[in-house]
Structure 1
Amino acid sequence: IAFITQSGAMATAVLDWATAHGLGFSNFVSLGNSADVDFGDVIDFLGSDPYTRSILLYIESITGARKFMSAARAAARNKPVIAIKAGRVTEGAQAVMSHTGALAGADDVVEAALERAGILRVETIEDLFDAVETLARARPVLGERVAIVTSGGGPGVMATDRLIRSGGCLATLSDDMLARLDSFLLPNWSRRNPVDILEDAPADHYVRTLQTLLDDPDIDAILFIHAPTAIVPSRTIAQALAPVAKAARRTVLTCWLGRTGVAEARQLFSDAGLPTYDTPEDAVGALMQLVNYRRNQELLIETPPSVPVEFTPNVVAARAVIDAALAAGQTVLTEPESKAVLAAYEIPTVETRVAATPDECAQLAQAMSFPVVVKILSPDITHKSNVGGVALDLDTPEEVRAAAVGMLKRLKKRRPQARVSGFSVQQMARRPDAHELIVGATTDPVFGPVILFGQGGIAVEIIHDRAVSLPPLNLKLARELVNRTRVSRLLAGYSHRPPADMTAIYLTLMKVAQLVTDLPEVVELDINPLFADNQGVLALDARMRIVPAWRPGAVHLAIRPYPQELEETIIIRGQPVRLRPIRPEDEPQHQAFLSHLTEEDIQLRFFVSIREFAHSDVARFTQIDYDRAMAFIATRPDDSGQPETLGVVRSIADPDNHQAEFAMIVRSDLKGMGLGRALLDKMIRYCRHRGMREIIGETMRVNTPMIRLARKCGFEVSSADDETVFLRLDLKPARPDSSAGG
């Protein structure tokens, strides 16, 4: 176990606790003020350290968000990373203009970042200590189905309550399992899970119960809880159980309730390197840490579904609106301007027209279909409803004019200093089954843009039903963001209300994430309300705060997005072939590509024979961190028009971005056509553009085509050992330009 802390006091406390519990650390790092070395550097080192099986973090603040996220995501794929983040509450937070900014607290953003990185967050120092013991002594859980064995009903009920409240799953005992337990347990045992074997059970009942449950393939983990009894000493039970628990291939956690009567039993298990806890709640909490880590790992390798509708935003049109507003000295886009930017990203909006006076409002309304909505336009007013600046269901030109005049009067009383630039007039949206949602974005000072989703409307900050995530988003991440809110259950439909078009909601979130990726000038964005029903989505109101962008491209994001600018089309023997970075959505076609490789191809690429690639392996191949790795694939349409992968070249950079190690493979039937040369040239240009100093690789001596290709591309070839050769390309300094990546 490695421990990294920013607090000297925490460092000494953890060391003292670990000594008392007989635990050691592979590495123990106190960062201080991180003047030079920070979390990202140390996590990078520990992530590849073979002597470190898990990493614990005590975090007070994070600097270098992209480096931290990149290092943490890489480490969390290989070993548990658990963090406690101090400073959950920020008093006197800086005032923000939008609902989104008010709703997306700093701790919410940290929570979203840690979850996105695959880091398991704990709440208290006690949880952190429990995590140390659990990771050091418990086996990883194979699933989530838990069996609880207890010598009394009360502790079993307490453990079950905590398990279910924590999102755990109680295993169901099959009829066969009940019959097997019936064969030796006392007649009045519980006959359900929790398995209450009763306080007067002899020692062998404990052992046989544990052995029987360990044989059940429908049980993934077992929690044993024992309270002292007068029938059998706790030490006797511990001596009988310890060898069984030690030899178990599944997770077994124990809780010895009490103090004096169970002290010897607890010490016996501790000496045997078996996890044991003081209370049922502590034991369940430790078990859920293992379960949540497993869930995080599954999320990291889950294949995102393909986007059902591709969209190409009109970035030029959106930027024209923003540039004009900045040139005019604006810091906030008007509602019509904000909707124009949304329309450029194919987000449906209500047609909105601008009027300068109440009379012009009436004229515009006459040309539209009644009823209409009139809103005040002012750069000084964020929430128009708060000052009576919104009028709904206006059916005649006279009502429209009167409503606009009334707004001016109210504004003069409530906000006399506010500037009025006019009115917006739009058709009243009649969507009786629509839910009012909020979709927005704000900018965190550490992690950059943050996407928010939740229940919208004028009471949005009171209801406080929201979740946040870091861009970029794909369909899977958008779905997870929605599912973390209470309103998601309403969107599924109920009573007479049909389900909302969830795909339209997910796509809207993805489009907003793309918007703030493309347009770093947008630092706050509100779409509130966003109507959502079975017909799709419709943005009724929108507001954006803008600033001049001081960083181009997607540098402002904590996670590097898909580098679309690296896509290109080449011609191979008269046919177009697409070269592009790999995407998580490519997993199915990449699995097909790997399955069609010959045994020799696989042997030459991976140095071993692999019969079949597991889902987790292919997920690692396709879900890469573009900040430290790159994989270019060559694709073309197959006979059915679907893209098929023809070859792939990949590289992984060292943390200092000095050296990249590459590997590549091309389908056997396509070798000799120039595809390998095109892929390798693409990677060389990319690494040179990134400022790498050299590219290295290894291949087998018998792989003469690869060696010949490497030499043609300028690689030096030297002997590594009897079976392999070493390839090295010195990348001459070259000034980066726009063509280098493609």
Structure 2
Amino acid sequence: MSTRNLAHLFRPQSIAVIGASNREKSVGAVVMRNLLEGGFEGPIMPVNAKYQAVAGVLAYPDVDSLPVTPDMAVICTPPATVVPMIEALGQRGTRAATVLTAGMARHTLEDGRTYQEAMLDVARAYGMRILGPNCVGLLVPGMKMNASFAHISALDGKIAFVSQSGAVCTSVLDWAKPRGIGFSHFISLGDIADVDFGDVLDYLGSDPHTRAILLYIETIRQRRNFMSAARAAARNKPILAIKSGRVAEGAKAAASHTGALAGADHVYDAAFKRAGMLRVNDFEELFAAVETLARARPTKGERLAVLTNGGGLGVMAVDELIAHGGQLAELSEETIARLDQVLPETWSKGNPVDIIGDAPGERYEAALKALFESREVDAVLCMHCPVAISSATEVAEKVIEVARANRRVNLATCWVGEQAVREPREMFAKASIPTFDTPSKAVQAFMHLVTYRRNQDMLMETPASLPSDFTPATATARLVMENALSMGHDFMSEPEAKAVFAAYGIPTVETHIARTPEDCREMAAQMEGAVALKVLSPDITHKSDVGGVVLDLNTPEEVESAARHMEERLRATFPDAELSGFTVQRMARRPGAHELIVGVSNDPIFGPVILFGEGGTAVEVIGDRAVGLPPLNMSLARQIISETRIYKRLLGYRDRPPADLDAICLTLIQVAQLVIDIPEIQELDINPLFADSKGVLAVDARIKVAIPHNVGKRLAIRPYPKQQEEKVALRPVNGFPEREVLIRPIRPEDEPNHHEFISRLTDEDIRFRFFGLVHELPHSQMARLTQIDYDREMAFIAEGRRASGGRETLGVVRTVTDSENDSAEFSIVVRSDLKGSGLGQILLKKMIGYCRQRQTRVMVGQVLKENTRMLHFVESLGFRRTRTVDEGVVEVELDLAAPPTEAEGA
């Protein structure tokens, strides 16, 4: 999927309506009426052999008869006619169609294909994009285009709305218009045969007419395309989503409605957070959140101060804040003293700041100034309830006046009531100050800002380095897995699972296999201290539930006796279960350790998912869990842990020291890497994982294996491509001896070294690379350079060792590939003191090879004319000058479909 030809869909210059009709209330009649009444300025061409004219517009009997080739066609005809219509349009040169027809997937042709499959086959042959089928259509008010059968038009605005449900589309249109809410685009996706959420996000993410993107989602079909597009668009503008099917019953309904499986709700939550999106629950909250994000400045903190003339209102706001996981600002002694000077003695002396019911505008003004100057306050919610003594309008005037001089703290207002506060609310709206009619809505809006900032921070955060070197023995783990599969087992034995974990550096309990009770006794005699005995059976998953676990056995005789009783009990209770033997493992003595669970499940929508929470035998009852998508780093792992209830206990309390959080994070990263490297792993449990101040220990383990399907796209986010790493030798230059460097893809953890790398470039190198003098890039820009989406971008760095120890960045080459994989724009820069070492040629050849491997058509780049050294360098590798962009910039291009040049292959 891609943005190819989407401009023809969303900004067409001419439209054909296939199946246009004069029959009242037919879809073809409504579409024609909407297009004409909307005022679309290009040709509107009805196609229907039954009519000479439709709605007063000359009609045409077929596509071949149209006077001009339509950019986009709206198809309103029965299912059997759609495929031939797409064929005729494709031959004519039309590159986009909106198919309103329903039932395309329910009817089949003689060759077994559904009408929908046949329609897509024809459309792809002509490069035509299809919106729908079974959709309401689309509206682009800025173009006066209403290519839909909606009952009401849309106002022009800066918000894009994209929905899977046609009923939701018409309901939102009906809801939004009387509220004065306008749209840049209003798109009904329908059955998503072709154009999907990812395609639309890619298009709207760079659309200058769209300020925010709103999504109504029932299910996601293209996991990686969605995540890549959402993460890219969310860096440019807010993306807010409603996801239906929050509970199991709702999820079943969604699956029935869309004909696709609905993923678990908490996995959608994790995906939205990872993409930097904000999730809301209903339409009122959706549009309120848009207004909040648009009017409020980005919040830099989460500490809220509540200013009110009514104590009850303040308490309500605080209750709502705490219930939503917000943070109430703790006023400093300095701030309280400042408020004491300007408020009556009877004020609340804390937060919420109750300034008493008779507070006039001057008192609000003085209190707000004190709170705006307070360093422990990040945002203020200013509330007012109508009283006879004070004017709500006069108070609003003072609040607006103070707000104009405030440049640091976010401000929201809540004037409670109706008639008496109508004018103040209008005043706040004109002053672009967010205003709400209830404490609940005001606090909810503040938490939208907080949650949005948290999710954006996840996009931009520089992760910490791993606490220890992590080099998995993947070959060893794969050998164990292949052995289990070759024996026809769905589940690895516990010793096999622990061997896999050990290969990935996860500490495990010493465990041995014994076939008979006598073997158990001999094994225990060789082990020091108490042991645990467990049944070994591929047919028994939860051993403790069937009496298959006995702990604290102190002598070999006790172990043998326990094994005999266990065998007798299992033979009597589960006669059909295969008893492979027993495991004898050393008792893990970790008094006071927390019992955790780390697991992996396979979500039908987003693929492998990492789970973390409180473990033990009652794990399902406790229900304390958080999930995340692989791959993980230290920051993402800690974020997952922090979302559980057990997190606060892991930080330590009373005389219990904090658990080793770095070790827990590393375990999550190791498990994530394990499922990335070995796609045969379908499910995984470490329960319990003991965690305390000394580290972690995997006590019990379970891994389910199966031959995977669609290995290439099973992960929602493409992981670090380690296979691209290679070591090369540089020539001696400028006093540097010949040395070996590592060429590898860039990682988010490289940001600190990247700052240092840019600081060591000369002014000329910086100007040649950035077309201007940039001595230091802000964190947001540097994060964008180091936190790349490997599915769409690539950056190879050259990494060497400092003489003083540690690693440093010596050079970088990067490409950004368009959504068609047609063109990759490249840039390259090498540290100034290493020119002549051959590093530039090594890096660019590496990137050329990578782009050829991806089957990209061309590599292009822009070079300053005065940078003659770079021009000669790229031309030596086969690039040619194609055009002059402006007076000082030349574009160069390499045809990747052509055979490699001798210089490139050297």
Give the TM-score band, short-chain normalised. over 0.9
Report matched runs for 1:257-336 at 5 Å: 257-336=416-495
Larger deviation, residues 63-72 vs 25-34: 25-34
Contact 1:149 1:223 in 2 (8 A): yes
Equivalent position of 1:368 in the other structure: 527
Q: What amino acid sits opposite 1:77 in the alignment? A: R
Equivalent position of 1:99 in the other structure: none
Question: Given the alignment of the two structures, is residue 714 of structure 1 paired with residue 878 of structure 2, yes or no?
Answer: yes
Equivalent position of 1:644 in the other structure: 808
Q: Alpha carbons of 1:639 and 1:209: their partners in 2 closer, same or farther (altered >3 Å)? A: same
Equivalent position of 2:781 in the other structure: 617
Question: Given the alignment of the two structures, is residue 729 of structure 1 paired with residue 906 of structure 2, yes or no?
Answer: no
Equivalent position of 1:51 in the other structure: 209
Q: What amino acid sits opposite 1:483 in the alignment? A: S
Q: Alpha carbons of 1:734 and 1:287: their partners in 2 closer, same or farther (altered >3 Å)? A: farther
Q: What amino acid sits opposite 1:418 in the alignment? A: A
Tell me the TM-score normalised to structure 1 length. 0.92
CA offsets 1:700-726 (integer angstroms, 9 cap, x no match): 222222212221122221211112111
Deviation at 1:218, TM superposition (A): 5.0
Contact 2:247 2:265 in 1 (8 A): yes
Equivalent position of 1:440 in the other structure: 599
Question: Given the alignment of the two structures, is residue 378 of structure 1 paired with residue 534 of structure 2, yes or no?
Answer: no
Larger deviation, residues 497-506 vs 44-53: 497-506
Corresponding residue pairs, total: 728
Question: Given the alignment of the two structures, is residue 593 of structure 1 paired with residue 751 of structure 2, yes or no?
Answer: no
Deviation at 1:460, TM superposition (A): 1.5
In structure 2, runs of 5+ residues without a counterpart are 1-158, 253-261, 732-737
> Secondary structure, in 3 states, of the residue corresponding to 2:886?
coil
Equivalent position of 1:61 in the other structure: 219
Larger deviation, residues 349-358 vs 234-243: 234-243
Contact 2:520 2:559 in 1 (8 A): yes
Q: Alpha carbons of 1:245 and 1:27: their partners in 2 closer, same or farther (altered >3 Å)? A: farther
Larger deviation, residues 204-213 vs 701-710: 204-213
Q: What amino acid sits opposite 1:72 in the alignment? A: A
Separation in 2, partners of 1:326, 1:485: 35
**Coordinate RMSD, CA, aligned:** 2.6
Separation in 2, partners of 1:21, 1:466: 40
Report matched runs for 1:328-407 at 5 Å: 328-407=487-566
Q: Alpha carbons of 1:221 and 1:51: their partners in 2 closer, same or farther (altered >3 Å)? A: farther
Q: What amino acid sits opposite 2:754 in the alignment? A: H
2:569 aligned to 389, 407, 410, which one? 410
CA offsets 1:594-621 (integer angstroms, 9 cap, x no match): 1112222222211222232222222221
Separation in 2, partners of 1:637, 1:728: 34
Q: What amino acid sits opposite 2:512 in the alignment? A: R
Larger deviation, residues 72-81 vs 494-503: 494-503
Separation in 1, partners of 2:859, 2:757: 25
CA offsets 1:326-349 (integer angstroms, 9 cap, x no match): 122111111122122122212222
Separation in 1, partners of 2:790, 2:171: 38
Separation in 2, partners of 1:176, 1:335: 60
Q: Alpha carbons of 1:353 and 1:206: their partners in 2 closer, same or farther (altered >3 Å)? A: closer
Equivalent position of 2:231 in the other structure: 73
Q: Alpha carbons of 1:194 and 1:395: their partners in 2 closer, same or farther (altered >3 Å)? A: closer
> Secondary structure, in 3 states, of the residue corresponding to 1:325?
helix
> Secondary structure, in 3 states, of the residue corresponding to 1:374?
strand
Separation in 2, partners of 1:491, 1:508: 15
Q: What amino acid sits opposite 1:110 in the alignment? A: Y
Separation in 2, partners of 1:45, 1:135: 21
Separation in 1, partners of 2:376, 2:649: 33
Deviation at 1:261, TM superposition (A): 2.1
2:642 aligned to 483, 486, 507, which one? 483
Could you tell me the percent identity over the aligned residues? 57
Deviation at 1:314, TM superposition (A): 1.7
CA offsets 1:107-138 (integer angstroms, 9 cap, x no match): 12111111111112223333213213223433
Deviation at 1:518, TM superposition (A): 0.6
Report matched runs for 1:25-174 at 5 Å: 25-91=183-249, 106-173=264-331
CA offsets 1:199-231 (integer angstroms, 9 cap, x no match): 323334444544554455654333221111212
Q: What amino acid sits opposite 1:714 in the alignment? A: G
Equivalent position of 2:663 in the other structure: 504
Q: What amino acid sits opposite 2:283 in the alignment? A: I
Equivalent position of 1:572 in the other structure: 730
Larger deviation, residues 511-520 vs 651-660: 651-660
Q: What amino acid sits opposite 2:790 in the alignment? A: Y
Contact 2:274 2:458 in 1 (8 A): no
Q: What amino acid sits opposite 1:7 in the alignment? A: S
Q: Alpha carbons of 1:175 and 1:741: their partners in 2 closer, same or farther (altered >3 Å)? A: farther
Deviation at 1:276, TM superposition (A): 1.7
1:540 aligned to 683, 699, 708, which one? 699
In structure 1, runs of 5+ residues without a counterpart are 95-103
Larger Rg: 2
Separation in 1, partners of 2:251, 2:793: 37
Deviation at 1:496, TM superposition (A): 4.5
Equivalent position of 1:701 in the other structure: 865
Deviation at 1:180, TM superposition (A): 5.5
Equivalent position of 1:679 in the other structure: 843
Deviation at 1:446, TM superposition (A): 1.2
Contact 1:689 1:734 in 2 (8 A): no
Separation in 2, partners of 1:16, 1:227: 32
> Secondary structure, in 3 states, of the residue corresponding to 1:332?
coil
CA offsets 1:26-58 (integer angstroms, 9 cap, x no match): 222221121111111111112122232222222
Deviation at 1:546, TM superposition (A): 0.7
Separation in 2, partners of 1:213, 1:427: 60
